[in-house]
Each structure stands twice: as structure tokens, then as C-alpha cells.
Structure 1
């Protein structure tokens, strides 16, 4: 009988504790011990025993073992029986306290911060109060500004918050040193998804100090973080009376705008517009992202509804003729239903006044909001319904091909079967290629009775049949397919093998058309320059084929292929790229001459997963094919017996 997950966890904990104790007890050098522990760290549960190996390693050599400690010190602790416990309240507390004190005396910020946070974690609800006391005591005890910065670095705990009393004490000792720390640890009075039931008090005394010494930036930062919605509303309405100049009013409103989106933002915007008119429009436009759809409850069909007072804001802008504010609010803050309804009305209004309808449609097209993180970004684009998309396509086909095509990007929400049918009737290559670029990344829903499954099957069959019927001669199919694949967004394919099984159009593009792509050099280059890595991998596979055509195209695209030596790639993709590079380098000496220095440089890459054995093979093939390109260390030397020995 197989063991349960609980039994497995207890067994792994028991085995790991025994292995660690054995390693620590064995007589061996520190380097040997580190190597053994690094090997153990690759097994489950090593991170659960820092209370066992941490103090011992610190005593042996805190410098040698420091990287290992920082990599694996995680405050998740279990006993040999697999039960959670707090080692700071056990027989191991003395050793841990000694370790903490030594790190403090040595000013080892990274180790001390981890140990200190680990210790605080066991205090539960008291940890924030204890942390504040420690911050104040250490900051007061430091004699210089540099020492104060050091102490604050040691006790830095990103999730813990200050109160005003602690902030005032820090500010009284050294305002300049305390300023960034206080800003970093301001409390959160609310957030977008779970507003606080009881608003926090405004730090009035601290803000008065800041204003008195001219630090308005810090003062308004504190205000924007701590202000409650009611206080914010009162303050901004008072500004409409006290500040007469429009520029000064917009600047003051921006200083008062809360850090987290207030739920009553649309209400306040309506009141501001009614009171000051166009004077507040720059402020409203800048902060429309504070108004967003809200959860409508389980009884709602669509799950969300418009923010309170957003319909009033839209109507107010419509009545006053403020198309800029109306369009921005609709695109940024409305629900999909509201956006689709307004677009449908504009399309119908084209019968009465086409230039006005076209202008307003252009104003509402595009992304409403963006969220950008390091290496990752999101954009909110409101989709149209199939019927609305068809109506727009029939009246404004150029808008559907242009700014509105992002609003009909097929996905899990819709397949747009009627729009695809109209585009096929019109033989609209541009729109069809765009729709195909999105459809080729979609999984067909598995439930046969599902409406979306039927729609997706219909769309994929129609698109696949359309591309299959394209002439293969003259590169017509290759050009169209490459156009579609070149528009596939980066990171839009996650399970490629499953996608191939479930999507007929994907199979056509990626598996059944290799010979047709090779017939068109421009199509192959488009595939190489595509943002989606699976499309690039298709090009690598094509250029790595054993055929004269593939070799000729590989040499033509050497400028793009050479980058694959140094760029990050998965192992399977890199092997395909190596095959394409081999096709170029083994059949043209100048191509080999250009690639060889880059191949040699690649060996210096620190990536342990890089298939350097395959690179050695590629380099050997090139040097064997072109021996004149060998360097001194790459030329074989054959040592023979001396002449005298040979004659004897």
C-alpha cells in the first residue's frame, strides 16, 4: 500500500534530520561538509531544519557557509517527526540567540535580517509592537547617521508597519535618516479589494512637523496613504472653493488623490465636474483608473457592474459635449457590457451623422489601462460581442482592421464565428490573418455540449479550410501563414504539445506546411523575427533540414541565427538552432568564419544548462569541414619517434 502524503512528509523529515546530524558529526573538512550539505539541500525538507544546521555552520566558519545559509534559511521549521514548532522557544533557543548576536556584532545585515524576521515570526500578533520598540531603541542608540542607516537596514521587515508615535520618535532623532524608512513602512489604511472597516487616524502631528520644515513631498505621501474616503471627499470639495486658479487646483487635487483607488471616486469626480467644469478635467483624466468595475455578487450574470456614479459621469460628459472625458471614462472604467452597448449605439448613429460616429469610435478604441511590472505587463482591452463586431465591420471595415481589431482578439471569452464568416466572404486577408494569429493559440473547450466549444470548432475549421485552399505556388500560402504567425503575441502559448492536439489550425501552421515555408525566403525570415518563441523554433527546424533549400536560406539568415548562440533558449529549441547554424557554417566558409568567434565566446557563458556538449560537436564539425579556420590550440599535433629511434 502506498504511503499518504502525511506519511511521506514525516518520513522525509525523519530521514533529513538523520542525514544532517550525520553530516555534522562526521569528521571532515569544511569544504567537504559544505559539498555534502549542498547535496542534501537538493532533497526535500532541508529548508525545514535551519535550527539544526544553521548554528553549527555559523560556529564552524560563518564566511565559508554564508552563501549556503542565505540560500536555504527559511523560517519553516519541523521536528524529526514532521511537526511544526518554534525553535526560538525550545532547547535550541540559546544557540539561535548566540547566532543572532554574532551576526549583529559583525554587522552582517543579510544574515541578521533573516534571523531577526525568523524570531519575530514566532511572536504572532505581538511582533509588530516588539519590532517598533527594537527600531526605536536601535535608532536612538546609534551615534552617527551612517550607524543609524545600518541599524535600520538590519531591522528592515517589509511587511511590518509603523505607527505615528514610532515615526515621531525616529523623526526627532534624525529626520533625514528616518525619512525613507518611515515612508517605506507607512500603514495601509485600505486597499482596492478589501477596504478597511475602520480608517486609520491621520498622522497630524508628524505632517505638521514636515510642513514646518518644508518637506511637503513626505507630508503629502503620508496623506495619500492614510486618508479615508470621507476625509478625501471633504478636502477636495473644499479645494474647489479655496483654490481659484485652474492650474493650482489641478495640482492640489493631485496632491490629495489617495494612493489606493477609492470606491467613491466616480461620485467625487461628478461633484468636481459639476462645481468647476473643465477646470478639473486634467485631474479627472489622469485618475480615471481609480474608477473600475466592481463585483456584482453571485446573482449577477456577468459578475461585475459599473462603479457607482460612472453612468452619471458618462451622461454628464455626453450632455456637456466632453468627448475626450467620455471616451476615456468608457474605455478605462466601464464594464464590457457598457462598452459594447455604447459602441453599438455609435455604429447605429452612423446613419445619422457618420463623421461624428467615426470620430467617437476612434476615441474609444484601444487599451483602457496598463499595469507594468519588471519583465511583465498587462493591458485592459474591452472586447466586443460578435454581433457588434459584425455591425461595425459592415459599416466601418477599416476601423475593424485597424484600431478595433484588438477588441475582437478571440480568446476564452469569444470566438467571433459570425465576424470570421463575414471576413471570409469578403476575403479580407488582413483581418483574417490577425484573427488566425489569435485563434492558433486557443484550446478548444473540452465539453462537447458547451456553446463555446461549438463556436471554436466552427471558427477553427473555417480558418483551416481557408488557409488550406490558398495556392501553394508563388508563396501565397507561405506569406499568409507567416503573416498570421508573425502576429502571435509573445508568451501566448503555454502548453504547445497539447495545443497541437486540440487545435486544427495550429497543426496546419506548425506541422503540415514546412515545404511551403521553405519556398518563400521572406516568409522564413518573418518566422525568425516573430515575437513568439514557438514560431521562431519552427523557423529553426525549417532551416536545420537536410536540403539544399534549407542550407541556402540558413546562410541568408545568418545575421539572425548567430544570436541564438548567446540568447536564452530552452534546450530543445537551442538544438534546433544549432542544426540551422550547422547548415549555414558547413556549406559556406565565410559563414563559418563569422560564426566561429561567437562559438568560442559561448563557452564562457555561466549557464550550467547550456548544452555545451552539442556546441563542442558543432564546433568540431565546422573545424573539420574548414581546417584552415582552426586556431593554434585547435590544430591536431601528431608526435612521432625521433629519426634515430625510427632507424634503430
Structure 2
């Protein structure tokens, strides 16, 4: 009978506790102790015993063991019985306090900050914040120099800390220059359910000494909606120069959401006209849809602002407002109205439609980017395509990307009737990555059957099918396929592209290169599989794409995909000695990669395959030596 996870967890924690106490109590050198702890650090629960080994290492040698303490530090603490505990209130509290005090005296900002946050985490919410504020003020008041005050503020720079005005006033009074960045980094958020006071005292003090940046930051973070509205309208009345007005409005724009922003924008536009357009264009994201009983609704004042921009022919404001702030239904209705507007000149209608195309907002993080794009309904997309097909092929392409909400069967049929290759390849790229759901299975079956029949009917001679299919696969976005096996099972078009067309791709080298350069990893894996086939054609095409294939040695890849890439590399090396001469040193260099999951045994087999085929590329250490019995006449 297998051991249950709870029992195994308690057993492993108990064993780790005993091992740690044994290692820490043993008489040994610092190097031996560090080696033993680094070995124990491989166990999952090691960091949860920071309360045990951290103070001991600090007492032993704070400098020598600091990298280990920082890399394995964790405030999550468990006992030998596997129970969560707050060690700052137990028998180890004195040792932890000594560790914190040592880091404080040494001005070890990073370590002290972690220990201080750990200690305060044991307090309840309001008590925790009050204790942090009190400690910040005490340290700044007791610091004798500005440099010391900067250090103390750095120690107390905890990300969750938020100041109140009395604390900020005390810091500003002691040293305004040193406290300014700390105050700005720890201002409270003026959320609708927890409105903060406007901090007028500190703001007036900052204005009196000419610190406009601090005063503006305080205002923008903490202002309430009635005050902001009153001040913005006052600026519209008193500041006459348009550029100065825009600057002043930007300096007074709140950092927190204001539900009545659209209504204020209407009043500003009515008061000053086109003068406020640059300000509106930069802050239309403050107008956002809200949730109602029946779903998403436009913001209060949004219809008035949209009507005003349309009536005054402010196409830039009108278009940006629809892209960034409208609901999908409102956006779709406006595009449909323009597509069916036969009274206006086509050039003007097309210009206005261009104002509506594109992303309404972007959120970019390290390694991740998101864009907000409002989709069109099938009826609107078809109407737009009937009148302005070049817009659907170009700027509005992202607005007709099929997904779980829409399959666009009517648009697909119109594109098939027009034999619109560019649009069909794009629509096929989106259809080929979609697994039909139960709610839209009928529409998706119609679209997939129509597209698959179209591509199956393309001529195979001359590489026509291969180039079109490669165009569609090359348009697949990265990370767009999550369950590849389910996709192949339920999507007829995906089966055609990924499983049933190998010979056609391989007969068109340009299509294979397009597959290699595709952003979607499953498309690249298809190219690796093609180039790894045991035939002369695959070896020739692999050698032509050596510049792309050699990069796979260093890329992070799934094990199965890497093996397929190794097959393509072996074929490229087998085609000619010059290709092998390029690859062999790169294969040797890949052995130094630190990735523990890298299949080095397969890499060794790849290198052996190359050196067997081309023995002249072997290094002296790779030349086999055969030893036999001594020849007659040799000395005994």
C-alpha cells in the first residue's frame, strides 16, 4: 500500500528537522557546513526551516553564509510536526531577533528588509501597518545624517507599506529631500471603497517650498471626483493658452479610476472646444465600460461624449473613444453603420473606419503582452467586406479573428467566393488552432469543412498548396495551441495541415523554411519532422536551412521536439561535410549547457553519428585506438 501524501510530508519534515539539527550541532569547518546545507537545500521543505538554520548561520559567519541565507530565505515556517508556526512568538524568537539586530547594525538592507517584513507579518492588518509607520518615523528621527536616513528608509521600504498623512508629515519635517521618494513610493491608493483624505497639509507645504512634483503626485493619487471636477473646470475657465491648459489638466488627472470621467470630458469639450482634444486623446482610457444587471454597459456620459465627437467631426477623438472605451456591441454597431452608409463619400467613410481599426489598449509585462481588440460580429464583418474588402484584409484583420465566440461562417463563404487568398490564409490560421466547443459546433463544422475542402482542391504541382498551407501555419500566434492531440482529433483543417501534407511541403523548400520561421512551436516541430525523414530530399532541404536548425541546439525545447530537431540536424550533417563542419563544434559546445533536462545522451548520439559519417572531423581525443598483441621481433 502506497504512503499517503500527508504521512509522507510529515515524515520528510521530521527527517529534515533532525538532519538540520544534526548538521548544525556537528563540529566541522565552514566549508563542510555549507556543503552539507547545500545538499539539504535540495529538499522541498528546506526553506520552511529558515527560522532554524538562519540564526545559526548568522551567528557562525554572517558574511560567508549570506548568499545561502538570501537564496533559501522563506518566511513560511513549519515545525518538525509539519504544522505552520509563527517563530517570532516561540522559543526561537530571541535568536531571530538577534539575527534581525545584527542585520540592522551591519546596514544589510536586503536581509533586514526581509526579516522586518517577516516579523511584522505576525501582526493583524491595522496593527501591522501602524507598527510599520511608527518604526519608520522612529528610525528617520534618530538617524543623525542624511545618508543614514536614506539607509533607514531603504531598510523600511516594504512593498505593502502605505503611509498616512501624519507619518508623511513627520518624515517630511525631519528631512524633506530624503523622505520625498519614500513618500511617493508609499502613498495610499484612493480606491472607491476606501477613500483617503486628500493630504492637503502636506500638499500645501510642498507647494510653498516649490516642490510641484510632490504636490502634483499627492493630488493625482488622493483627489476625489468632486474636487477633480471642480478644479478641472476652473482650469478650463482661467488658463487661456491651449498648450498650458493641456499641461495643467494632465498634472491634475487622477491616477485612480473616476466613474464620472466621461461626463467631465463632455463639459471640458463644451467649454474649450478643440483646445482640450490632446488631453482627451491621452486619457480616454479613464472612460471604461461598467458592469450592469444585464452585462457590460457603457460608462456614464459615454454616449454624450461620443455624440459630441461625431457632431464636431473630431474623428481622432471619436475613433479612439470607440476603440478604448466602448463595449463590443457599441463598437460593432458603429462599424456596421459606417459599412452600410451609402450617403457619405466612400473616401470619408473609409477614413473614419481606419480610425476604428486596431487595438484599444495594451498591457505589457516581462515576457508577456496583451492587447485589447474588440471583435466584429459575422454580419458586420460580411457587410464591411462587401464594401471595403481591403480593410478586412488589412487593418480590420485582427477584428475578425475567429475564436470561441465566433466562427465567421458568412465571411468565410464570401472570401471563398472571391478566392481572396490573403484573407483565406488568415482565417484558416485562426480556424486551424481552434477546438470546436459544444455551443458553436455547427458553425465551426461548416467553416472547417469549407476551408479544408478549399485547401484540398488547391493544385499540388508547383508548390501551390504547400505555399498556401505554410502561409496559414506561419500566421498561427505563439502559444495559441494548448491541447495538440485534441486539436488533431476534432479539427479537420488541422489534420490536413499537420498530418496529411508532408510530401507536398517537402517538395517546396520555401514552404519548409516558412514553417521553420513560424512563431508557433507545433509548426516548427512539423518542419523538424519533415527535415528528419530518411530520404535524400529531406537531407538536401535540411542542409539549406542550416542557419535556422543550428539554433535549436541552444533553444529551450520540449524533449520530443528536441529529438525531432536532432533528426533534422543529423540529416543536414549527412548531406555534406561542409554542413557537418559547421555543426560539430556547436554540438560539442551544447554539452556545457547547465539544463539538467537536456537529453545529453541523445546529443552524444548525434555527435557520434556525425563523426562516424565524417571521420576527418574527429579531434585527436575522438580517434579510436586499437591495441593488439606485440608483433614478432619486438622486445619482451
TM-score by length of 2: 0.93
How many angstroms apart in 1 are the aligned matches of 2:623 and 2:4?
Answer: 60
For residue 442 of structure 2, the aligned residue among 436, 454, 460 is 454
Equivalent residue for 2:225? Answer: 229
Runs of at least 5 residues in structure 2 that lack an aligned partner in the other structure: none
* Distance verdict in 2 for CA 1:309–1:45, change over 3 Å: same
Distance change (3 Å), C-alpha of 1:639 and 1:138: farther
The DSSP-based 3-state class of the residue aligned with 2:604 is: helix
1:273 deviates by 0.5
Q: Does 1:306 align with 2:298?
A: yes
Indicate the residue corresponding to 1:266 in structure 2. Answer: 262
Report what 1:207 is aligned to.
203
Q: Which of residues 281, 295, 306 in structure 1 aligns to 2:277? A: 281
Question: 1:196: which partner in 2?
Answer: 193
Question: Is it true that 1:477 corresponds to 2:469 in the alignment?
Answer: no
Match of 1:118 in 2: 118
The answer for the alignment partner of 1:66 in structure 2 is: 66
Q: Deviation at 1:13? A: 4.6
Q: Secondary structure at the match of 1:48?
A: helix
Q: What secondary structure, in the 3-state scheme, does the structure 1 residue paired with 2:68 have?
A: helix
2:234 matched residue in structure 1: 238
1:431 matched to 2:423? The reply is yes
Q: Name the stretch that deviates more: 128-137 or 518-527.
A: 128-137
Q: Name the SS for the 2:201 alignment partner.
A: helix
The secondary structure found in structure 2 opposite 1:287 is: helix
- SS of the counterpart of 2:575? coil
Three-state SS of the structure 1 residue aligned to 2:370 is strand
CA distance in 2, matches of 1:371, 1:52: 42
Contact 1:518/1:550 (<8 A) preserved: yes
Contact 2:190/2:256 (8 A) holds in 1: no
| 1:382 alignment counterpart | 374
Gap change, CA 1:43 and 1:454, over 3 Å in 2: farther
CA distance in 2, matches of 1:478, 1:459: 21
Separation in structure 2 between the aligned mates of residue 574 and residue 375 of structure 1, nearest angstrom: 22
Deviation at 1:403, TM superposition (A): 1.1
Deviation of 1:318 after TM superposition, in Å, equals 1.4
Structure 2 residue 243 is matched with structure 1 residue 256: no
Indicate how the Cα distance of structure 1 residues 143 and 627 shifts in structure 2: closer, same or farther if over 3 A, else same: farther
Q: Deviations over 1:14-66 (max 9, x none)?
A: 55444544554566665555455445544444443322332233334434543
Cα distance in 2, alignment partners of residues 106 and 638 from structure 1: 64
Residues 224 and 351 from structure 1, CA distance in 2 versus in 1: closer, same or farther, beyond 3 angstroms? same
118-127 or 530-539, which moves further after superposition? 530-539
Query: Does residue 408 in structure 1 map to residue 409 in structure 2?
Result: no
2:502 corresponds to 1:501: no
Where do residues 45-124 of structure 1 align in structure 2 (5 Å cutoff)? 45-124=45-124
1:321 aligned partner: 313
**1:374-409 deviation line (CA, Å, top 9, x unaligned):** 221111110011111111122222211111111110
> Cα offset for 1:550?
0.9
The 10-residue stretch of structure 1 (506-515 or 42-51) with the greater mean CA deviation from structure 2? 42-51
Shift of 1:275: 0.7
Paired residue total = 635
CA contact (8 A) 1:12 1:44 kept: no
Contact kept in structure 1, 2:189 and 2:256, CA below 8 Å: no
Task: Identify the range of structure 1 (370-379 vs 588-597) with the bigger mean alpha-carbon deviation.
Answer: 588-597
Report the counterpart of residue 520 of structure 1 in structure 2: 508
Question: Could you tell me whether the CA contact under 8 Å between 1:350 and 1:358 is conserved in 2?
Answer: no
Give runs of aligned pairs for residues 546-585 of structure 1, distance below 5 A.
546-585=534-573
Contact 2:48 2:74 in 1 (8 A): yes
Deviation at 1:464, TM superposition (A): 2.1
Alignment partners' CA distance in 1, 2:2 and 2:627 = 62
Correspondence for 1:134: 135
Task: For 2:342 and 2:428, locate their aligned partners in 1 and report how far apart those are by CA, in whole Å.
Answer: 29
Aligned-partner Cα distance in 2 for 1:565–1:4: 41
Q: What secondary structure sits across from 1:224 in the alignment?
A: helix
1:314 deviates by 0.6
- Distance in 2 separating the partners of 1:577 and 1:541: 7
Distance 1:63 1:512, change over 3 A: farther
- Report the CA distance shift for 1:10/1:251 in structure 2 as closer, same or farther (over 3 A): same
What is the match of residue 158 of structure 2? 157
**Distance in 1 of aligned mates of 2:486 and 2:67:** 40
Would you say the 8 A contact 1:436–1:463 is kept in 2? yes
DSSP 3-state at the match of 1:379: strand
SS at match of 1:295: strand
Q: Deviations over 1:68-110 (max 9, x none)?
A: 3323322222334444332111111111111111222233222
What's the secondary structure of 1:552's corresponding residue? helix
Structure 1 residue 643: Cα displacement: 9.0
Give, in whole Å, the separation in 2 of the partners of 1:603 and 1:139. 53
Q: Could you tell me which residue of structure 2 aligns to residue 359 of structure 1?
A: 351
Displacement of 1:639 after TM fit?
7.5
CA–CA separation in structure 1 for the residues paired with 2:248 and 2:344: 42
Q: Which residue of 2 aligns with 1:588?
A: 576
Kindly report the root-mean-square deviation, in angstroms, between the aligned alpha carbons of the 2 structures: 2.6
CA distance in 2 between partners of 1:416 and 1:556 (Å): 39
2:208 and 2:617 mapped to 1: Cα distance? Answer: 74
- Shift in alpha-carbon separation, 1:309–1:645, aligned structure 2, 3 A: farther
Return the match for 1:613 from 595, 601, 623. 601
